[in-house]
Amino acid sequence: DDGYRLWLRYEPVTNAAIKVEYLKYASFIANTEKGEITGSALKELQTGLKQLIGKRVPAITTAGSRTGGVVFSLKPATGDSAAKEGYQIQPVSGNIVISAQSERGILYGTFALLRHMQMQQPLKNLRISSTPKIRYRMLNHWDNTDGTIERGYAGGSIWKWYELPERVDPRYEDYARANASLGINGTVLNNVNASARFMSQEYIGKVAAIANVLRKYGIKTYLSVYFAAPKTLGGLAGSDPLDPNVRAWWADKVAEIYKTIPDFGGFLVKANSEGEPGPQDYGRTHADGANMLAAALKPYDGIVVWRAFVYKADPDADRFKAAYEEFVPLDGQFDPKVIVQVKNGPIDFQPREPFSPLFGNMPKTPLGMEFQITQEYLGFAAHAVYEAPLFKECLESDTWVNGQGSTVAKVIDGSLHGYERTLIAGVANTGSDRNWTGHPLAQANWYAFGRLAWDHQLSAEQIAAEWTQLTLTRQIKSREHIVKMMLRSREIYIGYNTPLGLSRPWMGVHFAPEPWQSRGARPDWTATYYHRADSAGLGFDRTTSGSNALSQYRPQVQAQWNDPDKTPLPYLLWFHHVSWNKKLGSGRTLWDELCHRLYSGADSVSWMQQQWELARNDLDTRVYADVAGRLKVQRREAIWWRDAWLLYLQTFSRQPVPASLTPPDRTLEEVKKSVNIYLMR
C-alpha cells in the first residue's frame, strides 16, 4: 500500500455474513437528482461498493416500488445552512435511504454510509442522523506559486500552477473526495503570505480550473490576498482601504473573479503581521481593511476571513497579549461578512498553549478557529504526533465568559454568542508525496481535523480508532496498540520538546533545538524571550508581578493559573517564573521534574516503537517499514532535544542530573555543534 487511498481504501469485506447483508441492498442506487454533487455521491458509492462487495451496482433514476437498493432522497430545505448540510441514513421499506436537504448532505451521507461499511458494521438497525456544528469547515494551504509550501513537509504543492488551466491533474479530484468524505466544504489554495499574482487574470483562470473540480464535491474555493495588490498589481498610488480608487479596484477585481468562479468562497487575509502589508500602513484599522473587502464582496455570497495573528515588534511587550489588545477594541466594528480567524493559542501553534484569550471576548464578531495540521512545531514529518488531543484540549477549555461551560467550542460553533457565520480552519499538511502527508500517521491529523470540524464532540480516541480501522488494519488487537500509541504521542513529544509549559525553543527553522538562541531580528523571534531561564529559575511570569497577560481571562480562568502552587504542571512555565529548587505538586523540585520529563519523553519513543512492532503482522509491509523508520529518527531526535534542553538549562540551575537518570554522554558544546551543522546552509 502506498498510502495514496488514505481512509478511502474500500478493502473487500471479509465478514461473510456482513457481505450477504450488504448484497441485499446492492440491486440499484436510485438518484432522482441531476446535480453534479449527487453525481459525485453516486460515483463514489458505485466505486466503493464495487471494491467492498465486488458488485457493480447500476444507477436508476427512481426506485418506485423496487426494494433492495440505496435511495438518495433530497428534501425541501427548512433549517439553517448547517442543518442543510446534515443527513439521515436509515432502512425504509427494504431500501437504505440517505436523505438530506441539499446535494452536499447526500454526498456527506454517502461517505458516512461507506465509512460504516468499511468498518463492516451491520445495516439492519442503522439509523444515523448527523448535522455539522460549524458552517465553514476549511483547509488553509500555505502553498506558493513556485510550488513550494510554507511549513510543508510532504513534498511540494499539489497545485500545478505552471500547467493550469490546460492540464487538470486527476489528483485534484482525489483531494476533493478525501475532504468531502470528512465534510470539509472550503479550501484556501494559497499561502497567507500571499502573492499578488493570484489576483491577476491569468491566475484567476488557473484557480477556476481547480474550483471546477472541487465544486463537484461541495468544496468552495477561496484565495489569500496580498493587501497591497491594488498598488503592486493594479498600479495605484497606494492601497489605503478608505481610498475610493482602491475600493473600486477591489470591487472590479471581485466582479472579475465571480464572472469566472460564480461560487467563489471569499478571501483570507494576513495583514500587518510579520512584515505583510495592511491597513495600518495607512493609519487605518483591521476593521477598515476587512470591511473594505466585505464591501467588494457584498453583491455575492463570499466572505472575508481576517486573521488575528498580529503582534508588533516591541521588546517590552508580551506577545501573548498582542492579538487581544489589537482586536478586542474593534468588537462590533466589523461588517457581518467578516469572520476573524484566531489561532488556538495566544502565541503560535506550540505543542501546548493555553487557549487564546480572544475566545469569548468578542461577542459581536464571529471568531473562527485556526488549527495547524501541518507539524511545523511538532517534529515535521519525522515525529508521530496525533493532534486530536491538542484540538480537543483547546475546544473543551472553559472561557467562563457566560458562566461555567462557556467552552471555546461553544464560542466557535456560535452557540455562545449567536454568531450567524461560524468557521473552523486547519492549516493543511498535504503535499505532493504519494501518501499525501509524508508521515503515514500524519494522515490521521487531516482526518481528525475534518471529523472534529464536523462534530467537535467526537472523542480523540473514537477518531483514532476509526481512522486506524479505515486506513491501517481491521485487526482489533493491532488497532488497539496503534490507538494507544497515537493517544499518548503528543504528551510524549511535549515531554522531550517543551515540558511543563515551555514554548518556542527555536529560531526560524522550527525543528532543531535552539533554546540558547538569544539574538534575532526581533526579541520575540528568539528562544530566550520565551523561557526566560536565569540563575534563579525558569518560565515567563504572566501574573500581576509580570506581564499580567492573565488579566485577559475571566477570574475563574485566572484562578486556575494565577498561583504557581495550584497551576497544573503542563501550564506552569507559561505563567510563572519558578525557582529551580521549588517543590512541585509531583514532590520533585522544578529541576528534577524537568529532567524526569525530558527523559521519560525520550524513553517513551521506545515504547511507541514497541507498540508499532506489536501491530506489525497486521500491517501492510511498506507502511510498517515507513513508520518504523521514522520512529527510529524520532527516537534519535528526541534524545537530541532532551540533551539540548538539559545541558543548556543546567548552566543556570547548576545542579546534577538526578541520580536515577543516566546523564547525557555529550557536552553542551557538542550538542550546539550538531545543531549548527543541521542549520548550516
Shortest Å, Cβ 510 to ligand BDP: 6
Cell of 17: 455474513
Cell of 24: 441485499
Burial of 618 (0-12, 13-18, 19+ CB in 10 A): middle
Which of 150, 153, 225, 160 lies closest to 195, judged by CA? 225
Cell of 496: 522531550
Cell of 228: 497591497
The DSSP letter of residue 633 is H
Nearer to ligand BDP, 270 or 531 (CB): 270
Shortest Å, Cβ 33 to ligand BDP: 40
Q: State how far Cα 230 lies from the chain centre.
A: 31
Site for ligand BDP (CB under 6 A): which residue of 348, 398, 491, 592? Answer: 348
Nearer to ligand BDP, 172 or 327 (CB): 327
Q: Give the contacts of 290 (CB within 8 A, at least 6 positions apart).
A: 269, 304, 306, 334, 335, 338, 340
Shortest Å, Cβ 143 to ligand BDP: 12
Which of 143, 248, 166 lies closest to 212, judged by CA? 166
Shortest Å, Cβ 192 to ligand BDP: 5
Tell me, by CB under 6 A, how many residues bind ligand BDP: 9
Residue 190 near residue 143 (C-beta atoms within 8 A):
yes
Nearer to ligand BDP, 22 or 349 (CB): 349
Shortest Å, Cβ 148 to ligand BDP: 12
Q: Does 522 participate in binding ligand BDP (rule CB under 6 A)?
A: no
Residue 180 near residue 111 (C-beta atoms within 8 A):
yes
User: Residue 680 CB: number of other CB atoms within 10 A?
Assistant: 6
Q: Does 193 participate in binding ligand BDP (rule CB under 6 A)?
A: yes
**325 is annotated as an active-site residue:** no
Nearer to ligand BDP, 51 or 344 (CB): 344
Question: What's the CA gap between 614 and 482, in Å, rounded?
Answer: 9
Nearer to ligand BDP, 311 or 540 (CB): 311
Nearer to ligand BDP, 193 or 432 (CB): 193
Binders in 285-324 for ligand BDP, by CB under 6 A: 309
Q: Does 281 participate in binding ligand BDP (rule CB under 6 A)?
A: no
Shortest Å, Cβ 150 to ligand BDP: 5
Residue 471 near residue 41 (C-beta atoms within 8 A):
no
Shortest Å, Cβ 348 to ligand BDP: 4
Window 373-392: contact mask with ligand BDP (x via CB under 6 A): ---x----------------
Nearer to ligand BDP, 114 or 428 (CB): 428
- Tell me the residue nearest to ligand BDP as measured from the CB: 348
User: Residue 619 CB: number of other CB atoms within 10 A?
Assistant: 21
Q: Which of 44, 143, 240, 376 is catalytic?
A: 376
Question: What's the CA gap between 542 and 317, in Å, rounded?
Answer: 11
Q: Does 121 participate in binding ligand BDP (rule CB under 6 A)?
A: no
**376 is annotated as an active-site residue:** yes
**How many Cα atoms are found within 13 Å in the side-chain-facing hemisphere of 538?**
30
Nearer to ligand BDP, 103 or 353 (CB): 353
Which of 502, 503, 506 lies closest to 516, judged by CA? 506
Site for ligand BDP (CB under 6 A): which residue of 135, 216, 270, 337? Answer: 270
Tell how strand 303-307 and strand 338-343 pair up.
parallel
Cell of 271: 495583514
The DSSP letter of residue 143 is B
Residue 495 near residue 485 (C-beta atoms within 8 A):
no
Q: Does 349 participate in binding ligand BDP (rule CB under 6 A)?
A: yes
Shortest Å, Cβ 516 to ligand BDP: 20
Shortest Å, Cβ 593 to ligand BDP: 28
Alpha helices in 311-371, H assignment, sequence order: 322-327
Question: What's the CA gap between 230 and 292, in Å, rounded?
Answer: 12
Place of cell 441539499: 102
Question: What's the CA gap between 318 and 167, in Å, rounded?
Answer: 49
Q: Does 151 participate in binding ligand BDP (rule CB under 6 A)?
A: yes
Question: What's the CA gap between 676 and 681, in Å, rounded?
Answer: 10
Nearer to ligand BDP, 419 or 511 (CB): 511
CA torsion 622-628-630-635 (nearest 10°) is: 180
The DSSP letter of residue 282 is G
The DSSP letter of residue 579 is E
Shortest Å, Cβ 431 to ligand BDP: 15
Q: Which of 256, 274, 314, 670 is catalytic?
A: 274
Q: Does 599 participate in binding ligand BDP (rule CB under 6 A)?
A: no
Nearer to ligand BDP, 128 or 317 (CB): 317
Window 222-261: contact mask with ligand BDP (x via CB under 6 A): ----------------------------------------
Length of the chain: 681
Shortest Å, Cβ 513 to ligand BDP: 17
Site for ligand BDP (CB under 6 A): which residue of 192, 453, 533, 675? Answer: 192
Cell of 153: 513537509
Give 403's strand partners.
401
Q: Which of 281, 348, 466, 637 is catalytic?
A: 348
Site for ligand BDP (CB under 6 A): which residue of 33, 36, 150, 169? Answer: 150
Q: Give the contacts of 17 (CB within 8 A, at least 6 positions apart).
A: none
Q: Which residues in this chain contact ligand BDP in the complex, by CB under 6 A?
A: 150-151, 192-193, 270, 309, 348-349, 376
- Which residues are part of the catalytic machinery? 274, 348, 376
